Structure 1
Amino acid sequence: MITVFDDAQRAHDPQFFLSSGAPQPCPEKPARVDALLGAVRRLGGPVVQAPDAGLEPILRLHPQRYVTFLQTIHARWSRIPGASAEVIPNIHPANRSDGYPLSAVGQAGFHQTDTSCPISANTWAAAYASAQTAIHGADLLRAERVVYALCRPPGHHAFAELAGGFCYLNNSAIAAQRLTDAGRRVAILDVDLHHGNGTQGIFYDRPDVLTVSIHAHPERYYPFFWGYPDERGRGAGDGANLNLCLDRGTGDEGFMAALDRAMQAVADWGADTLVLALGLDAFEGDPFAGLAVTTPGFARIGRAVAGMGLPVLIVQEGGYLCPELGDNLAAVLSGF
């Protein structure tokens, strides 16, 4: 299995994370890369760097003003007297159809959903490299059956014009669009602990990409406002979105039951290519402690998805530092 990775993704090193009103060390750290790469190298197989495909594949989903914001906001923010070292919003519009401000403070509130996506001087370069990793992974599926895109920072909480939840560019969605443009019928299966709200939002009105997410129920869990079972898509996209919500603490058997439903939906929809948005934070020992999937459970997930017989692009989403992080990735990849 080919792994795509760009070392430039290490440059993003967020410091600020506000949880339940208290500042905490940010769990989305560069050290995640070492654990994940270690697992890849134990399994063997080539690790390649993506060529630069430019902005065009990103602009297929993310508007130019949002990309410009990500590229320039830290420098603009830094000119504000007394500004924090990272861009962190302190005001938000009631909705994104309100006016678009020129102020750096206003634009931060417009384009960042929460305080868990701080932007530093190196954030754009890392997010861009992460997106290029997913793009090249999609291109490799022309000849490969399975490709792993080691993307960091992750992407599935990023909407078309919104960063949030450690995410800036939606790598899984960008890859799915790349594959759709190449004539594939694509489904995105998100197995992260948290609902892939940005992915859902990007495709919610579209009938050409199926989005399926298995996640902890948002009634009492991030992202709170999206990911409910009655969200099926809208307009032309009605029926092209499926949310499978799990109770806190759900373990292997409950997760696998949901995965069976998800895979049946993918088969019924007639997908010929799958983007697996791979979060490893459903693990019982993950710092977020939402679900209770075991390392052998991740191996079962890998085997089940591989058993669908589809070309699969595996895009790394969440999964945070714990001793078993690399083992959990190895368990999934070994299933293929």
Structure 2
Amino acid sequence: MSILVTGGAGYIGSHTCVELLTEGYDVIIVDNFSNSGPDTVNRIEEITSKKVKTYDINLLDSSRLETVFAENNIEAVIHFAGLKAVGESVEKPLHYYETNIGSTIQLCKTMEKYGVYKLVFSSSATVYGLPEQVPIEENAPLKAVNPYGNTKIIIEDMLRDLATSNNNWRISLLRYFNPIGAHKSGLIGEEPSGIPNNLMPYITQVAAGVREQLSVFGDDYPTKDGTCIRDYIHVVDLALGHLQALKKIETYTGVQAYNLGTGTGYSVLEVVDAFEKATGITIPKKIGPRRPGDAPVSYADPTKARTELQWEAKRTLIEMCEDSWRWQVHRKAQLESK
């Protein structure tokens, strides 16, 4: 039996595929490569020495998606596919609602048709919006402040309704905090198109000379150094959380939500300092105005995941920085050699 991974060539998806293959699972990837490239699949196969069956499909294409289920004996689905840029979601809200929600509806309809009821869903800490208190527990109010976060809340609600309508469903909602880092091999990592929306790829691009300096959005927040504090988690730790969630859904029906974070918050300047210490490279930076909707402090209470999933983030901030830089150097050399 196989695990279907939608968006399996993306940043978090590719790392999860590596861990699934390493654990002995058969993996099928469905991806339209809008946020990735087919060569990522080749690199997954290089790391694991295993072949991965891949379909270049948009999940909104119901007939082609049905072919995937008809041709394979799928046991469970890990659903990463979707659009994820907060700023773009503000500019193109209908595109985000149609893509993220529509594709999930299509996926769940097809799963029901083929009797596949195990689903691990890629949610986000953006569902918490501007948190009233930290650390954030899973029962905190859900009140996103952008269309991207709203799509995650709507999908979570939809999946709960689905599980209520049919008690065969076993669903895990994984609310990620801030994934950074890359695989130790340097073969896969975060590869944003255009100007990065996230801190670490911005830092590594500055370090590599791709960008002139790092823009820091605000230094007047009520934090120790005035910059925003976030819960940064190594992408491999995050990937391993999916394996534990996959095992856990064998033990319950219905829906469970889990925070995947370290439980520790680091400021923007602390991350920059850690990167400089890990690499010996100085990162030039400029302070700019705050970004609308940025919470001053956001970090997880990961107690539920630790207790119920037997999962815990183990990699340090320094390791996250080292692995991010190794990936950047490796990828730059790879692209220059073409």
Normalized per residue, which structure has more helix? 2
Q: Which has the larger radius of gyration?
A: 2
Scaled by the length of structure 2, the TM-score of the pair is 0.32
Normalized per residue, which structure has more strand? 2
Scaled by the length of structure 1, the TM-score of the pair is 0.32
